Amino acid sequence: MAAPKVAVVGAGVIGLSTALCITETCPSCSVTVLSDQFSPNTTSDVAAGMLIPHTYPGACNSKQWFKETFTFLFAISNSPEASEAGIHLVSGWQVFKNTPKEELPFWSDVVLGFRPMSEAELQKFPQHRFGQAFTTLKCDCPPYLLWLEKRLKATGVQMHTRKVADLWDLHSEYNVVVNCAGIGAHQLVGDEKLFPVRGQVLKVHAPWVKNFIRDGDGSTYIYPGIHRQLVPLQMLGGISPGFQLPPWKGMMG
C-alpha cells in the first residue's frame, strides 16, 4: 500500500507544527508543506510568541490545548536545543485597570508560580487595580520557525513554494489536505469573518529589561527578548482590536 500523501498548506508556526505532528504521529505518511511564503516572510515571524492563552466562546478544550503546548515547549526549553529553537522561560506581570471577571484564569495551574500581585507591587503600576504574576514561556518565532524547518527536512518532509488558490486543486495530488493558511484563509476559502487588525511592534535594544509587562487585555505589552549575537532585543507592541485594515494582500502562515 502506498504511503498516504498529505499536504499542509501554510508555513507559519501552525503549519510547520502541524506537519511535524503528522510526521511523528504517522511516520508512514508522505508530508509536503506548501506555501507562497516561508520564514522570514510569514505572519508568524512578527508574532510576539508569549504563551498566554485567551478564552474563546465554544472552545471547550482550551485548557487541554494550552497544557499540551506548554508541556511540549517546556521540554524544549530544558533541552540543549533551547537556544537554537528560541524558547525560554520568562517571568513578569499582567496588570488590569479593572478587576477581571475571572481572577483565577483557567490556565493558572499550567504556568509556573501563578499568584495575584500584592498591593505593594500594584503601586508600581499607577491606574491599575489588579494584577497577576507568573512565569511562562516565550517563543522567539524566527529561530523557532527555522528550527521546525530543520526538523521537518531531517524527517524527509518536502517544502515547496507554491501559491494555492483553491484547496480543490490539490485533491488529485494528495490524499489529505490540511488548511493552515492563517490569515490567508480569508482568500483561500472565502472566510469573510477573518480579517487583520492594525498593530505595531517595535524591537529595541534594552538589555536591562528582564521581565514582561502586559496589559490585561493584551493590547499593549513589553516582552524581553533572547540574546542574538550578544544583542538582546526587547519587543514593544500594541494592537487596536476594533480597527479593521483596508483591503490587503494576504499572507499564508
Q: Is the pLDDT of residue 242 over 80?
A: no
Going across the sheet that includes 30-35, the strands are 158-161, 30-35, 5-9, 176-179
Q: Give residue 130's pLDDT.
A: 96
CATH superfamily for 60-138 is D-Amino Acid Oxidase, subunit A, domain 2 (3.30.9.10)
Q: Kind and range of the H or E element at 242? A: strand 231-244
Q: What is the pLDDT of residues 102-132, one digit of tens each?
A: 889 999 999 999 999 999 999 999 989 999 9
The closest of 3, 110, 17, 22 to 67, measured between CA atoms, is 110
117 sits in the region (left: phi over 0; alpha: psi -120 to 50; else beta) called beta
The per-residue pLDDT for 236 is: 56
Is the Cα torsion angle 74, 80, 86, 89 positive or negative in sign? positive
Percent over 90 (pLDDT), the chain: 57
Q: With a cut of 80, say whether residue 31 has pLDDT above it.
A: yes
SS3 (DSSP) at 156: coil
Tell me the whole-structure pTM to 2 decimals.
Answer: 0.84
The boundaries of every CATH 3.30.9.10 domain in the chain are 60-138
Residue in the structure block whose three cell numbers are 489529505: 176
CA 110 to mean position of chain CA atoms: 17
What is the architecture of the domain spanning 1-49+140-253? Answer: 3-Layer(aba) Sandwich (3.40)
Region(s) of the chain under CATH 3.40.50.720:
1-49+140-253
Cα gap 39→73, rounded to integer Å: 20
**Looking at the predicted structure, is the pLDDT value of residue 245 above 60?**
no
Task: Give the burial string for 236-245 (b: 16+ CB within 10 Å, else e).
Answer: bbebeeeeee
**Sign of the four-CA dihedral 233, 76, 107, 58:** positive
Using alpha carbons, select from 45, 50, 44 the residue that is nearest to residue 88.
50
- According to the model, what pLDDT value does residue 158 have? 94
